[in-house]
């Protein structure tokens, strides 16, 4: 596996693959990789001749009081895992490379409406940071395919909308959430949990499964169900940011049973923010 550290190295490698007529898949990450990330690489390998992974902890998507400085950086272990899963190259830019003029004057990409809902309502500027860096990475890598984990359900919807709106010739592949044996969605932030919190964390998915069953059984009083679920999670030891029953098509809050639904959840457990979702 090749380690690419500059835009020039990246472009030269991409150009070589293109000259060979090879199809390229891209997996953007922030590192501290786990089996969920490696599953994205596995899927990417099934769909393309070459797989490139980026590792970049993007400062634009972190709020002032969030964990940018503490976010784990594990490049050596990440590269070993990527090599084992057959990635062809990893691109590791620095903030100075990606934002040479600084964040305050950086051109940005923003997806309205979708980016203002759910996590966007409580993390101002987060999805602007996500869509900007993903768009920039897309321009650098110019992949045919890009793979994203469906744990970040809203993020995938935003990236798909951005690609559609900007007419980018990239297929976005959503990959099913990887979970631990007890149901907890794999996340780099799970490492922040204490042993006691880790024992509680799987209850989030259990509660979402119960809520899904209640809706399937015919209860469509969505706002009441959301409130009851927030209270239940708070009783279990979480601090619920939101539990929203939304339409899959546009992520607006569901008001009737006609459309396919998704339950979106964000909670805190101690100082650790956890997100999860389940489709109906």
**In contact, 129 and 61? CB cutoff 8 Å:** yes
Tokens of 16: 């070589």
Nearest to 245 by CA among 234, 228, 232: 228
Residue 25 has φ and ψ, to the nearest 5°, of -115, 145
**In contact, 160 and 173? CB cutoff 8 Å:** no
Instruction: Pick out the chain residues at pLDDT < 70.
Output: none
Task: Return the pLDDT at 65.
Answer: 78
d(CA 269, CA 222) in angstroms, rounded, equals 24
37 is catalytic: yes
Domains of the chain in start order, with CATH, are 2-175 (3.40.50.620), 188-279 (3.30.1300.10)
Task: Return the pLDDT at 70.
Answer: 87
Nearest to 186 by CA among 201, 173, 200: 201
Hey, how many other C-beta atoms are within 10 angstroms of the C-beta on 40? 26
Task: Return the pLDDT at 67.
Answer: 79
Q: Could you say which of 34, 37, 85, 118 is catalytic?
A: 37
Strand 239-247 to strand 261-269: parallel, antiparallel, or no bridges (unpaired)?
Answer: antiparallel
Q: What is the pLDDT of residues 110-128, one digit of tens each?
A: 999 999 999 999 999 999 9
Q: What is the pLDDT of residues 34-76, one digit of tens each?
A: 999 999 999 999 999 999 999 999 999 998 878 798 899 999 9
**In contact, 85 and 38? CB cutoff 8 Å:** yes
Task: Return the pLDDT at 16.
Answer: 98
């Amino acid at each position: 596996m090749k380690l690419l550290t500059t835009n020039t190295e990246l472009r030269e490698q991409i150009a070589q693959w293109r000259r060979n007529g090879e199809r390229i898949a891209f997996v953007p990450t922030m590192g501290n990789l786990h089996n969920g990330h490696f599953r994205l690489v596995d899927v990417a390998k099934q769909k393309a001749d070459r797989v490139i992974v980026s590792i970049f902890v993007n400062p634009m998507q972190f709020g002032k009081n969030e964990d940018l400085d503490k976010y784990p950086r594990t490049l050596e272990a990440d590269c070993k895992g990527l090599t084992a899963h057959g990635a062809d190259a990893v691109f590791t830019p620095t903030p100075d490379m990606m934002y040479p003029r600084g964040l305050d004057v950086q051109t940005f990409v923003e997806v309205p409406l979708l980016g203002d809902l759910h996590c966007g309502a409580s993390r101002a500027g987060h999805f602007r940071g996500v869509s900007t860096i993903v768009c920039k990475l897309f321009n650098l890598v110019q992949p045919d395919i890009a793979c994203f984990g469906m744990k970040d359900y809203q993020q995938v919807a935003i990236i798909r909308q951005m690609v559609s709106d900007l007419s980018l010739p990239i297929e976005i592949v959503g990959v099913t959430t990887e979970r631990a044996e007890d149901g907890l969605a794999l996340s780099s932030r799970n490492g922040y949990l204490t042993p006691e919190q880790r024992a509680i964390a799987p209850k989030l998915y259990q509660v979402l499964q119960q809520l899904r069953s209640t809706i399937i059984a015919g209860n469509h009083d969505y706002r009441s169900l959301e409130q009851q679920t927030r209270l239940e999670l708070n009783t279990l030891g979480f601090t619920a940011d939101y539990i929203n029953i939304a339409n899959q098509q546009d992520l607006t809050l569901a008001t009737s049973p006609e459309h396919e639904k998704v339950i979106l959840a964000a909670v805190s457990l101690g100082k650790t923010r956890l997100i999860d979702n389940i489709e109906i």
